[in-house]
């Protein structure tokens, strides 16, 4: 089971990151939960300084201000 959290205020990059991660996990037919955190205070409390930030099973996988590629997401899954 993969537990994914996407942190971001709802910008295009954050929304596209969430959609792409959902698409990859669905295509791989693996169980997952995906949460989107848009609240600035919650992001600050989690130590998130840039968005989109992705946590996978509690581990920060990306904190770049860009949408990850499919290959990057699959690499993260291999590390989780």
Q: At what angle do helices 12-27 and 70-79 cross, to 10 degrees?
A: 60
CATH architecture assigned to 2-69: 3-Layer(aba) Sandwich (3.40)
Q: What is the pLDDT of residues 38-77, one digit of tens each?
A: 999 999 999 998 999 999 999 999 888 889 999 999 999 9
Q: Mention every residue, 6+ apart, whose C-beta is less than 8 A from residue 26.
A: none
Note the pTM of the prediction, 2 decimals: 0.92
Cα dihedral 40, 56, 50, 27, rounded to 10, equals -100
Kindly list the domain boundaries of the chain, sorted by start residue: 2-69
Q: What is the pLDDT of residues 8-36, one digit of tens each?
A: 998 999 999 999 999 999 999 999 999 99
């Amino acid at each position: 089971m993969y537990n994914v959290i996407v942190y971001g205020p709802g910008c295009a990059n954050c929304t596209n990151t969430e959609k792409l991660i959902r698409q990859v996990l669905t295509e791989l037919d693996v169980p997952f939960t995906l949460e989107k955190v848009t609240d600035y205070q919650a992001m600050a409390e989690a130590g998130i300084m840039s968005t989109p930030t992705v946590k996978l099973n509690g581990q920060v996988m990306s904190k770049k201000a860009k949408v990850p590629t499919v290959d990057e997401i699959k690499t993260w899954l291999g590390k989780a």
